[in-house]
C-alpha cells in the first residue's frame, strides 16, 4: 500500500483580543476599574442629574453599556463614573494599543552598468517649447443689488400646548407636563425606577424614557389605554394620570349644493 501522508501541522490559534484602545471613543472592551483601582458604577444607576444627565440625552446607547468603561464625549481616553461617593469619575485602567511599525521604504531599482563595448546612443532630441499660458478667464458679471431692507415682522405668539391626549392613540404620543395620578399622587422620576424585576424592561425597550424632556411627566411607552407613571410613594406601584381626553375637532362643513 502507498505510504500514509504526513500529518497536517496544527492550525495556529487566533490571538486573544487586546483590551486596549486605538481611539478612545471606539473602545468597547469590558474594563470596569479606574486607574486608581476604583470600581465603575453602571451608567444607568442614579444619581445622573444636572450636567451628568446630558449623557442620557446625547448618548442613549449608554443604558446598554453596563458598568464598562466608555468614552461617549470624545475624550482622549475611556472613563467611567465611580462607585466611590467621594470621587465622581475617573480615567479607566485601559492602555493605548501599540502603534504598528512604519512601512519599509521601497527597494531601489538596480540597473546594470553600461558595457564598455556598447556604442553610445543617439543624442536626445531637445524638448519642445512649452505652449504660452492661457489667458485668464473673464470675470463673472456683477451680482444683482440686494433687495431693499424690510423691517422685521412681529413674531406670532406660540400656539398654546394642549395638555390632553387623543383617544385614537391612547396617549402614546403625549408629551405634556402633567405629573399627578388620578388619586393625586406625585409621579416618580423615570431615572429612579428600580433597576431590577419587571420594571427593568423599560430601560431596554424604551431608552428614550430617561431623556431630560420626560423627567417625571406622565407617559405611555407600552401602548396602555392612557398615559401613566410610577408613584413616589410606591403604593400602588403605578397609576394612570389625571389627564383629560382632547376634545374631538368639529366635523367639516357639508359640501355646498350644486348650482
The 10s digit of each residue's pLDDT in 186-228 is 998 888 877 667 777 776 778 777 777 778 899 998 889 999 9
- The residue ranking higher by pLDDT, 226 or 255, is 226
Give residue 53's pLDDT band: very low, low, confident or very high (50, 70, 90): low
* Alpha carbons 86 and 13: distance in angstroms, whole number: 45
pLDDT the model gives residue 66: 86
Residue 12 predicted with pLDDT over 80: no
* Rg from Cα positions in the chain: 35
> 63 phi and psi, to 5 degrees?
-70, -15
Give the Cα separation of 50 and 27 in Å (integer).
26
CA distance 221 to 24: 34
CA distance 227 to 240: 6
Quick one: average pLDDT of 6-23? 60
DSSP state of 208: G
Q: How many CB atoms lie within 10 A of CB 29?
A: 16
Cis peptide before 255 (omega within 30 of 0): no
pLDDT computed for residue 50 by the predictor: 54
Phi and psi torsions of 56, nearest 5°: -70, -35
**Which residue(s) pair with 245 in the sheet?**
165
**Which of the given ranges, 145-154, 206-215, 216-225, 250-259, has the highest pLDDT on average?**
216-225
pLDDT attached to residue 212: 72
Q: Which helix (H) or strand (E) holds 96?
A: strand 95-96
Residue with cell 543617439: 122
Please report the beta strands in 162-214, taking only residues with DSSP state E, as ranges in sequence order. Answer: 164-165
pLDDT of residue 226: 94
pLDDT number for residue 161? 56
CA 173/CA 216 separation, integer angstroms = 16
- pLDDT value, residue 77: 85
pLDDT of 48 higher than 60: no
Amino acid at each position: 500500500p502507498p505510504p500514509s501522508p504526513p500529518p497536517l501541522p496544527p492550525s495556529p490559534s487566533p490571538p486573544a483580543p487586546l483590551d486596549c484602545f486605538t481611539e478612545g471613543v471606539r473602545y468597547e472592551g469590558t474594563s470596569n476599574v479606574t486607574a486608581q483601582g476604583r470600581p465603575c458604577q453602571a451608567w444607568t444607576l442614579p444619581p445622573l442629574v444636572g450636567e451628568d444627565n446630558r449623557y442620557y440625552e446625547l448618548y442613549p446607547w449608554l443604558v446598554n453599556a453596563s458598568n464598562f468603561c466608555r468614552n461617549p464625549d470624545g475624550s482622549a481616553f475611556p472613563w467611567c463614573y465611580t462607585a466611590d461617593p467621594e470621587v465622581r469619575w475617573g480615567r479607566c485602567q485601559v492602555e493605548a494599543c501599540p502603534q504598528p511599525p512604519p512601512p519599509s521604504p521601497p527597494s531601489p531599482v538596480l540597473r546594470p552598468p553600461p558595457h564598455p563595448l556598447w556604442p553610445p546612443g543617439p543624442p536626445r532630441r531637445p524638448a519642445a517649447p512649452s505652449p504660452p499660458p492661457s489667458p485668464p478667464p473673464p470675470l463673472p458679471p456683477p451680482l444683482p443689488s440686494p433687495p431693499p431692507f424690510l423691517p422685521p415682522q412681529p413674531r406670532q405668539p406660540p400656539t398654546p400646548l394642549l395638555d390632553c391626549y387623543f383617544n385614537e392613540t391612547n396617549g402614546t404620543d403625549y408629551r405634556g407636563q402633567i405629573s399627578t395620578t388620578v388619586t393625586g399622587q406625585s409621579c416618580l422620576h423615570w431615572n429612579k425606577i428600580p433597576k431590577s424585576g419587571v420594571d427593568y424592561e423599560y430601560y431596554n425597550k424604551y431608552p428614550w424614557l430617561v431623556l431630560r424632556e420626560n423627567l417625571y411627566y406622565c407617559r405611555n411607552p407600552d401602548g396602555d389605554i392612557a398615559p401613566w407613571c410610577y408613584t413616589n410613594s410606591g403604593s400602588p406601584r403605578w397609576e394612570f394620570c389625571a389627564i383629560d381626553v382632547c376634545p374631538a375637532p368639529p366635523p367639516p362643513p357639508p359640501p355646498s349644493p350644486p348650482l
